[in-house]
Structures are given as structure tokens and as C-alpha cells.
Amino acid sequence: QKEVEQNSGPLSVPEGAIASLNCTYSDRVSQSFFWYRQYSGKSPELIMSIYSNGDKEDGRFTAQLNKASQYVSLLIRDSQPSDSATYLCAVNMFTSGTYKYIFGTGTRLKVLA
Amino acid sequence: GAGVSQSPRYKVAKRGQDVALRCDPISGHVSLFWYQQALGQGPEFLTYFQNEAQLDKSGLPSDRFFAERPEGSVSTLKIQRTQQEDSAVYLCASSLTPLETQYFGPGTRLLVL
């Protein structure tokens, strides 16, 4: 079982709709969670970080964390074609004596105009 | 201020050649990470430095891979006797501390023929 799991997609949503991206992780003691957006041929760029249970909102983006269920999600409201990208979930895990990011494989989002 | 920079951006190597990839982190960032990203996959952890100390190299795929950060700033990832399976994008990221957000460089796209 992979440590961080995401549905690879593609997830297709119409312009203006809400896109919901999900991520589950295996390490119960993880404390830091991140969503990155990666356009084709580019490097990952940070969208949101979340550390506590509940919701965190930033503009059109909302991250949701449920540590009991080991689940983190990203909602994108009013989706735009420019949101079409791969969304990577990253979990900061303490393993092999150090902290490291473990990434999921990413979910490819397509926003249809 | 300047972000993370990497060079070269693209590298074509013949099988068996040695290559060196450079990363210049954000000034003042203690933590530096190297990742390997294959097409359609999320970044895979290779190694981590805290200042000049290499605290975790558990992700390096073989002893042909070697990384250093001698003065706690610029880092170099060296791959000896490159193989075709080494073809990937190599991403460098830095952060203020291991627990905080990692900022990625543009990556080096390595193609081994």
C-alpha cells in the first residue's frame, strides 16, 4: 500500500463547478499536509498547507483535513480552465529518522470551458 | 527574493556518462531536498540535507547517485555511469526548516540515450 494515495483521474468538471480532490495517507502521526499544483512541464507550486483538523480557506481553494480518517481534500470553487493541471498531495512524514515529503501520484484535473 | 534555481534545465547524456545537476536554494533555507519525478508520477524523495549534513539518503536508487552540499548552500546531485532508467526530471526544493513548506526549483530534465 502506498503511503499517500490519490485517484489519478482525469477528473473532468465544467467551468464554474466545484472540483473535489481527495487524498488518503497511511501514517497516523503525520502533522503537515500540502497541496501542490503542477502544470505540464513545470515544477510543483504550493496551493495550500494545512496542519489542523477542519477546513482552511484561501480564495477559491478550501483544504479539509480529517486526521482520524487520515484524509485530506482540496475543493476548488468556480473552477476555471486555467485550473487544469495535476494536483499533488504531499504529507510530511517522520520516517528513517528524518522528516520528508511523501507525494501522491497526483490527480489530473480538466476544467472544460 | 530569488526562488530556487537549478541548472542545467535540460541535459542529454549518453548511457555511461557522468552528469552533475546543480541546485541553488533560497537564501537562508536550512533544508534542501532532491526528488526524482518520472512521467505521470509524483516526485519521489531522493535525499535531504540540513545545512551541509546529509541526514537522509534513503531514496537514492543506487550507489551511482551521490549528492553533496559542502557549504550548506548550493547542492550538487551527481549520477555516475548513467542508465536509461535514470531519465526523469530531477527536482530540488528548499525550506526554512524540515517541517515547513518546501519551495521547488524548475527542475532538470535528464534524458539518457
Rounded-to-integer distance, Cα A84 and Cα B55, Å: 36
Enumerate residues 6+ apart whose C-beta is below 8 A from A76: A18, A19, A21, A60, A61, A83, A109
Rounded-to-integer distance, Cα A87 and Cα A109, Å: 7
In this prediction, residue B57 carries a pLDDT of 92
User: Residues 39-58, chain A: which have Cβ within 8 Å of B?
Assistant: 42-46, 49
pLDDT band at B10 (very low <50, low <70, confident <90, very high): very high
Residue A64 clears pLDDT 70, i.e. is over it:
yes
Residue A97 clears pLDDT 80, i.e. is over it:
no
Average pLDDT over residues B53-81: 95
In this prediction, residue B100 carries a pLDDT of 85
In this prediction, residue B2 carries a pLDDT of 82
Residue B49 clears pLDDT 60, i.e. is over it:
yes
> What is the percentage of chain B residues whose pLDDT exceeds 70?
99
> What is the percentage of chain A residues whose pLDDT exceeds 90?
80
CA atoms within 13 A on the CB side of B50: 10
Q: What residues of B are in the A interface, CB distance below 8 Å?
A: 33, 35, 40-45, 48, 55-56, 58-59, 91, 93, 98-99, 101-107
CB contact under 8 A, A98 and B45: no
Min Cα separation A86/chain B (Å): 9
Min Cα separation B111/chain A (Å): 14
pLDDT band at A1 (very low <50, low <70, confident <90, very high): low
Which chain B residue has its CA at the smallest distance from A101's CA? Answer: B45
pLDDT band at A101 (very low <50, low <70, confident <90, very high): confident
pLDDT in tens, A16-37: 999 999 999 988 788 899 999 9
Distances from the Cα of A111 to the Cαs of A39, A89, B26, in angstroms? 13, 19, 33
Q: Please measure the distance between the N-terminal and C-terminal CA atoms of chain A and give it in whole angstroms.
A: 36
Residue A98 contacts B where some CB pair is shorter than 8 Å? yes
